[in-house]
Amino acid sequence: MKIDSLETIVVSQTLDGGESFAYSQFWYDTRTIMLLKLVTDTGLVGWGEAFGPALVNKQLIDNVYAPLVIGRDPFDTEVIWEDLYNKLRDHGQKGVVIEALSAIDIALWDIKGKALNLPVYKLLGGAFRDKVMPYATGLYRRRTGDIIGELAKEAAGYAEQGFKAIKLKVGFGLDTDLEAVIAVRRAIGDRVKLMVDANHAYNANTAIKLGKRMEEYDIFWYEEPVPPEDIEGYKQVKAQLAIPIAGGEAEFTRYGHYRLLHERAVDIVQPDCCVTGGISEFRKIAALATVHQIQCYPHIWGSAVAVYTGLQCAFSLPHYPPSLNPDPVLLELDRTPNVFRELLAGGPLPIRDGWVDLPTQPGLGLSVDEELIAKYRVNV
Ligand SMILES: [Mg+2]
């Protein structure tokens, strides 16, 4: 079996005025995603996705990576990964170069699974659990009058839907952040896990100040308190707080994650398959995390391709350290408006009593709705 063609597809959805939302860095009013369709000479199709600037990812794949992948055996994931990485090693060990590579690697794993009629987690060595706990990533800022009241209402809604864990965006200033934490904790009660995510809006000093104020509200983790480059800052924050510190979504490859892990800068590492180099690299980062007894949970943001990729990986993660009653693995599930997440696989990811069951379909486990793609495709 050989790779016959690669098609890079850019899709875009403009959000309605009322749907736009902000995290600590930017407002979102458009979703633009690069999907990759990889076809073999036997007719098998694999799907991948790259996080980041869609048009740049497309150019990188079309002009640099595609000629190196066409004609190759899709089972040679390691060999292909190393070849592509080395091709641009001198020009980009992080960033879009790796994001574009991620899409190719993910599509190759999808093909391998489909060729063997096995879900990807089987190829990764099997499932360590039969269900994972999805958490609602929401609680962004909207253009509404009563922001704190809206956040409390939204959080209560997720708890009513059965979510057992919820993530709140912070990074908007200490007083506002604390007000939001208090309101959301009150709205969801004591039994739902509450995480906060600053998207690296603070320096270590400010991040510690906020952390101290949040400690009494039982925060399950504090995500990206400081910029990803500031490993020393992460260590300062971690040393000062009784809240677990999470990070890694803006880190690339095993080389980048190695420092984060080796220096114990985080308690929870969050590699994203569509960012960090695909499934091949995710599994290596997850293995490195076990060496340091650091929890690894996939970061997920994007279309259903990204969600199903993260899902497959979540089942393949061993419990570290193992015990009779380990914490469940948490699966990030963004709740902001996104037609590509909700409809690309024909419908939203099925959630049963607050859990996502082990998938059974081969490959990544999704059938991509190409009519939806045609509707939102941008001709570039
Ligand atoms: Mg985050």
Q: How many A from CA of 199 to the centre of ligand 1? A: 6
**What count of other Cβ atoms lies within 10 Å of the Cβ of residue 278?**
28
The gap from C-alpha 277 to its chain's centroid, in whole angstroms, comes to 12
- Which one of 200, 262, 299, 319 is the catalytic residue? 299
CA atoms of 43 and 232, how far apart (whole Å): 50
Q: How many A from CA of 224 to the centre of ligand 1? A: 6
pLDDT of residue 351: 96
CA atoms of 164 and 9, how far apart (whole Å): 35
The gap from C-alpha 78 to its chain's centroid, in whole angstroms, comes to 22
CA atoms of 260 and 77, how far apart (whole Å): 25
CA atoms of 155 and 152, how far apart (whole Å): 5
Q: How many A from CA of 85 to the centre of ligand 1? A: 25
Q: Which domains does the chain have, with CATH numbers?
A: 3-117+370-376 (3.30.390.10), 121-357 (3.20.20.120)
Strands (E), the chain: 3-14, 21-22, 27-28, 30-40, 45-50, 131-137, 165-169, 193-197, 219-223, 245-247, 268-269, 295-296, 330-334, 356-357
Q: Copy the structure tokens of residue 168.
A: 């709140």
Q: How many A from CA of 28 to the centre of ligand 1? A: 15
Q: How many A from CA of 223 to the centre of ligand 1? A: 6
pLDDT of residue 336: 94
Q: How many A from CA of 29 to the centre of ligand 1? A: 18
pLDDT of residue 118: 98
Q: How many A from CA of 275 to the centre of ligand 1? A: 13
pLDDT by 10-residue block (mean), the chain, 380 residues: 98 90 94 98 98 98 98 98 98 97 98 98 97 97 90 98 98 98 98 98 98 98 98 98 98 97 98 98 98 96 98 95 92 96 96 96 98 95
pLDDT of residue 145: 79
Q: How many A from CA of 115 to the centre of ligand 1? A: 34
> Any idea which residue has 């990576």 for tokens?
65
In DSSP notation, 172-225 reads S-HHHHHHHHHHHHHHH-SSSEEEEE-TT-S-HHHHHHHHHHHGGG-EEEEE--
Distances (CA, A) of 127 to 96, 209, 351: 31, 40, 18
Residues near ion ligand 1 (Cβ under 5 Å): 197, 223
Rounded to 5 degrees, φ, ψ at 37 are -110, 120
Closest residue by Cα to residue 340 from 45, 49, 22: 49
Q: What is the pTM of this model?
A: 0.98
Closest residue by Cα to residue 9 from 46, 52, 42, 49: 49
Closest residue by Cα to residue 38 from 64, 62, 63: 62
**CB-based contacts of 314: which residues, under 8 Å, 6+ apart?**
132, 297, 298, 329, 331
pLDDT of residue 19: 86
Assess whether 91 carries a catalytic annotation: no
Closest residue by Cα to residue 298 from 320, 279, 277, 270: 270
CA atoms of 258 and 272, how far apart (whole Å): 15
pLDDT of residue 380: 84
